[in-house]
Amino acid sequence: MFPELNHLLNTTPDRAEQVRSCAVGKGAGPGSVAEDCVSGGSACRPVGKTRPLWSRGRLGVVVRGVLPRGLGSMLAPAEGGLLDLLESSQRPCVLLKVPRKQGKLTLLCDAKTDGSFLVHHFLSFYLKANCKVCFVALIQSFSHYNIVGQKLGVSLTTARERGQLVFLEGLKSSVDVFFRSQEEPHPLQFLREANTGNLQPLFEFVREALKPGDNAEAAWRCPVLLVDDLSVLLSLGVGAVAVLDFIHYCRATVCCELKGNIVTLVHDSGDAEDEENDVLLNGLSHQSHLILRAEGLATGFCRDVHGQLRILWRRPSQLTAQRDRSLTYQYKIQDKSVSFFAKGMSPAVL
């Protein structure tokens, strides 16, 4: 885990806002509710009327009539953080409060540089946080990740032995698929099938690895799926749509059902003719809550600045134009850490 990167992600505004859904009704005029409202949860009532302005329902909060200004701030503490109640609306609406306990999808992207240091950061971060991790490694061997992890203060061997880490070594498993008879379905079984778009065995492997177990696994925190990297599946003949379907099912299981997180790396080739890679990258970008994009310098190689990292916080559930916020830093990779600084503020330049 790189402390500076973790600090950058934690000091920015919270990106885990609730999803809101509003079904606009018909027929209510501006005078259907009073201008003022007394705060205090369910005691909020229009002046001179006995019908409550809002009430709790099985699915969330039901708001009747025009939404007065300040109502959002009044309902937020009463309803556990309900945000942005469309105070400018002049029609009755129903607001459905979706629980905040839902996992996030983090997209790691590298363009003209190596973004593997981001994978090592999240791997060591979640292992130190005592999370159950399923790591689908399609680029490097287990020993490679273990050596880097030891520099960051974690042992992948120990984590795998005690059941915290489930590691799928793609390089070794691909050899087993081709040259050994498999009686049971293999996660990479699509390599020897005519239909290369069938990633169901890989999804079943992920679901089996992260499903809640006995009391022995009760100590683990939220489950995490880490993939390095999805671009390899395109090189193996899997279509971008099939990969997006795989991520969709993983999100439904890991993020929604198990309340866990997904972190995946995708390489941006920068080739305009590589349509499959563009479809995959754009599709994942629209679904992601956090995007970390590592880019090489436009001026070329530099000994003291290895690249720049763009951090983009997204709110996929919101339709407003101001839902995204981004920051850009330059970085230098060292032996056991990564230094981040603002553009042009490298210690070697100052």
Tens digit of pLDDT for each residue in 148-202? 999 999 999 999 999 999 999 998 887 777 777 666 778 888 888 766 678 999 9
pLDDT band at 108 (very low <50, low <70, confident <90, very high): very high
* One domain, residues 48 and 130: no
Q: Which of 276, 281, 251 is nearest to 266 (CA)?
A: 281
pLDDT of 332 reads: 92
pLDDT in tens, 221-238: 899 999 998 999 998 889
pLDDT of 182 reads: 64
* One domain, residues 127 and 242: yes
* One domain, residues 46 and 120: no
Q: Is the pLDDT of residue 87 over 60?
A: no
Residue at 77 is within a domain: yes
CB 269, CB 85: distance < 8 Å: no
Residue at 166 is within a domain: yes
Task: Pick the range with the lowest mean pLDDT from 8-22, 28-42, 144-158, 278-292.
Answer: 28-42
Average pLDDT over residues 78-105: 48
Provide the edge-to-edge strand list for the sheet that holds 221-228: 165-169, 131-137, 221-228, 261-267, 105-111, 290-295, 307-313, 325-333, 338-341
Q: Is the pLDDT of residue 139 over 50?
A: yes
Residue at 33 is within a domain: yes
Of the residues 97, 131, 159, the one at which a domain ends: 97
* One domain, residues 246 and 304: yes
Tokens 């909060």, residue? Answer: 61
pLDDT of 191 reads: 82
* One domain, residues 36 and 130: no
The number of folded domains in the chain is: 2
CB 53, CB 37: distance < 8 Å: yes
pLDDT in tens, 303-322: 889 999 999 998 766 555 55
**Inter-CA distances, 94 with 16, 36, 91, 295, Å:** 22, 20, 10, 43
Q: Which of 119, 71, 94 is nearest to 22 (CA)?
A: 94
Of the residues 52, 72, 97, the one at which a domain ends: 97
Q: Residue 224: what residue type? A: V
Residue at 62 is within a domain: yes
* One domain, residues 266 and 296: yes
**Residues of the domain holding 240:** 3-11+101-341
> Per DSSP, what are the bridge partners of residue 110?
267, 294
* One domain, residues 224 and 120: yes
* One domain, residues 218 and 311: yes
**Inter-CA distances, 149 with 122, 157, 315, 323, Å:** 11, 10, 31, 35
CB 249, CB 203: distance < 8 Å: yes
Task: Pick the range with the lowest mean pLDDT from 56-65, 96-105, 195-204.
Answer: 56-65
The pLDDT > 70 percentage for the chain reads: 67
Q: 165 versus 22: which is more confidently predicted?
A: 165
Tokens for 17, please give them. 């806002």
Average pLDDT over residues 269-298: 90
Residue at 131 is within a domain: yes
Q: Is the pLDDT of residue 48 over 70?
A: no
Residue at 285 is within a domain: yes
* One domain, residues 178 and 274: yes
- Which residues, including other chains, have CB under 8 Å from residue 225's CB and lie 6 or more apart? 133, 134, 136, 206, 210, 250, 254, 260, 261, 262, 263, 264
* One domain, residues 192 and 92: no
The mean pLDDT of the chain is 75
CB 38, CB 70: distance < 8 Å: no
The pTM (predicted TM-score) of the whole model is: 0.72
pLDDT of 210 reads: 94
pLDDT band at 1 (very low <50, low <70, confident <90, very high): confident
* One domain, residues 148 and 91: no
What CATH number has the domain bearing residue 280? 3.40.50.300
